[in-house]
Structure 1
């Protein structure tokens, strides 16, 4: 049996119509939204709360936690709000919950002057520098957590974690799937591209997020139960599960954000097909940064990317066979046929209206 979940990061414009990021948005600005959202006691223990207590609900503030000279969290530089779904036995269930949670977030946020916008890379600030500077405790803490050293990337990027697991898979098989998804990631991610803006202008490509992020952050992450099951790699391919519900989970982390959640359904179906597929033999422990950057620049206009994306999609479709989830793949087929991504639409609108804010304000027309 398969299980599915989604974690989706939401960026906002504030009441002045400006992009609400860490440069001028405080934790309290977003926290007033979180406080008005409901808590569902039955969500636990399958959702992780975490040590800082920020992750109490299906919605929480995504950011960079600041510490005193101890484990005490004293602030959180904020980039937006993340929605996470509970664990579902169907793709449809995960997408339905995500849609309902998003609509509720949109309604509550509007009361405080915030409106959600589709962004996968901060369109104005390309660099995050913690202010005040990190103290000795924080520096030492980052040194023992290598992935946290890329917070400068994490704080300017927005994207989903597409979570999938298959009951009773061995650790060897789980890690093999993680390597498979890492290898084929450059051909999967173009279906999600939505970050054509950089430093207040158009970027020369389709996904600045992919171009900058890949090689430094994981494409896929496999959660294992025991220390001895970890594989040493940078970025990490494996991670110790923090709660029992995470054991055996595979997170695909390389995609841009989508404002059309049917694309998430399609991508989860694609991942499901790739888990079932036995014909694609490529494996990689770390993402191929060069291939990802080529993909980020040209997408499906690059013949190697287009050909391999076609192979990946066909392999998933064949593996799914008569599974009704195969129907979720339709939007991806259309993208391949047209060789177009969400970024193409955003670029076209930018040429028409000449303003990033006007373009992103038109997203999430759900």
Structure 2
């Protein structure tokens, strides 16, 4: 009944320790890695290629597309590489495909001298300023949606889209689920926190990404088939589907990136449980920025956040009942009971080594021998 997909953004370090971003690394450097990765013809049409033609594979470069006055893409300052899965009927299927795709990317990137690392906010840069300044076409394009107006924010962040859909729901029901996930987002996101560094230093909190992003950017996005079904909000909650496979898709966009893909599986199970739940009454069209900032700073150490997370875990557990996906929630209960997040591991690694670079290198099992 349910369908699942995952989109996961990967950050990199160069062998000399330099963080890969729009200043240190060219589009061509990352494009050479993607060019050597396989293409699966059976992925289409369920995967979107996009107008710029960059999204041709399961892996593609995430960046800020630049246009000339005629609307032709001229360049794309990069921030990293995104992996997307095809649509799966099981959570495990999506997690397994993501793991396989990551292993393929890791082999290719290491051969090119780039090491995948976990972070969800650029540890060293605090802003992205388009250079040269936007031209008239780009300024007009920026006005088309709230997300285009805030498109500079994602140039500093890495994060997943956790995608779910279920057939037979009405437009009203899909929008209601999007509003529900938006409301409860501050209690969902701490399980993924992985951005405790800012401007070359340890930040006073667990997720710079959540602190700066959610509120200005969506927590959830619902894809609909008809323009007249869209609702107006800032940031957007609804978006027109760009291909038939997207109609009815609900994307949860507020989590940080994870290097343990089992956490994505657990989060998808939590989202599924919340979709099935009929007891939680909270709804919001736009994210609560201040509550997300509290969550970003304190995580589960804040009683309000911990209590809210306990409440949604209970609701999802009851809704899943004897569904096999209930087993995914065990790891989330453990994290909540210990009040820990992936950011705590990064902080400990930093405190042990005194180095952001070494802390980042401790992720994705990079302490192991490089894959040839």
Q: Hey, what's the Cα distance between the residues in 2 that align with 1:211 and 1:258?
A: 17
Per the TM alignment, residue 13 of structure 1 is displaced from its structure 2 partner at its CA by 0.6
- Name which of structure 1's ranges 131-140 and 335-344 shifts more when overlaid on structure 2: 131-140
Once the two structures are superposed, the pairs formed by residues 242-261 of structure 1 within 5 Å of their partners are: 242-261=242-261
Q: Name the counterpart of 1:134.
A: 134
Once the two structures are superposed, the pairs formed by residues 163-242 of structure 1 within 5 Å of their partners are: 163-242=163-242
Q: Name the counterpart of 1:266.
A: 266
Task: Specify the SS of the correspondent of 1:155.
Answer: helix
Q: Hey, what's the Cα distance between the residues in 2 that align with 1:23 and 1:15?
A: 16
Q: Name the counterpart of 2:37.
A: 37
Q: Name the counterpart of 2:304.
A: 304
Task: Specify the SS of the correspondent of 1:283.
Answer: coil
Q: Is 2:104 aligned against 1:104? A: yes
Q: After superposition, what is the alpha-carbon deviation per residue over 1:338-360, rounded to whole angstroms, capped at 9, x for unaligned?
A: 00111111111111100001000
Q: Name the counterpart of 1:23.
A: 23
Once the two structures are superposed, the pairs formed by residues 143-162 of structure 1 within 5 Å of their partners are: 143-162=143-162
Once the two structures are superposed, the pairs formed by residues 29-68 of structure 1 within 5 Å of their partners are: 29-68=29-68
Per the TM alignment, residue 14 of structure 1 is displaced from its structure 2 partner at its CA by 1.3
Q: Hey, what's the Cα distance between the residues in 2 that align with 1:6 and 1:144?
A: 26
Per the TM alignment, residue 143 of structure 1 is displaced from its structure 2 partner at its CA by 1.5
Q: Hey, what's the Cα distance between the residues in 2 that align with 1:278 and 1:206?
A: 31
Q: Hey, what's the Cα distance between the residues in 1 that align with 2:16 and 2:73?
A: 30
Q: Is 2:348 aligned against 1:352? A: no
Aligned length: 366
Q: Hey, what's the Cα distance between the residues in 2 that align with 1:234 and 1:146?
A: 6
Per the TM alignment, residue 302 of structure 1 is displaced from its structure 2 partner at its CA by 0.5
Tell whether the 8 Å contact from 2:349 to 2:362 is kept in structure 1 after alignment: no
Per the TM alignment, residue 145 of structure 1 is displaced from its structure 2 partner at its CA by 2.9
Q: Name the counterpart of 2:369.
A: none
Task: Specify the SS of the correspondent of 1:5.
Answer: strand
Once the two structures are superposed, the pairs formed by residues 117-132 of structure 1 within 5 Å of their partners are: 117-132=117-132
Q: Hey, what's the Cα distance between the residues in 1 that align with 2:109 and 2:352?
A: 29
Per the TM alignment, residue 190 of structure 1 is displaced from its structure 2 partner at its CA by 0.5
Q: Hey, what's the Cα distance between the residues in 2 that align with 1:67 and 1:146?
A: 19
Q: Name the counterpart of 1:362.
A: 362
Q: Hey, what's the Cα distance between the residues in 1 that align with 2:67 and 2:152?
A: 17
Across the aligned residues of Structure 1 and Structure 2, the Cα RMSD in angstroms comes to 0.8
Task: Specify the SS of the correspondent of 2:76.
Answer: strand
Give unmatched runs, 5+ long, in structure 1. Answer: none
Tell whether the 8 Å contact from 2:18 to 2:24 is kept in structure 1 after alignment: no
Per the TM alignment, residue 15 of structure 1 is displaced from its structure 2 partner at its CA by 2.6
Per the TM alignment, residue 111 of structure 1 is displaced from its structure 2 partner at its CA by 1.0
Q: Is 2:14 aligned against 1:14? A: yes
Q: Hey, what's the Cα distance between the residues in 1 that align with 2:304 and 2:89?
A: 35
Per the TM alignment, residue 129 of structure 1 is displaced from its structure 2 partner at its CA by 0.5
Q: Hey, what's the Cα distance between the residues in 2 that align with 1:15 and 1:362?
A: 14
Per the TM alignment, residue 123 of structure 1 is displaced from its structure 2 partner at its CA by 0.4
Q: Name the counterpart of 1:277.
A: 277
Task: Specify the SS of the correspondent of 2:267.
Answer: helix
Task: Specify the SS of the correspondent of 1:116.
Answer: strand
Q: After superposition, what is the alpha-carbon deviation per residue over 1:217-265, rounded to whole angstroms, capped at 9, x for unaligned?
A: 0000000000110010000000000000000000000000000001000
Task: Specify the SS of the correspondent of 1:151.
Answer: coil
Q: Runs of at least 4 residues of structure 1 off by over 3 A? A: none
Q: After superposition, what is the alpha-carbon deviation per residue over 1:45-71, rounded to whole angstroms, capped at 9, x for unaligned?
A: 000000000000000000000111112
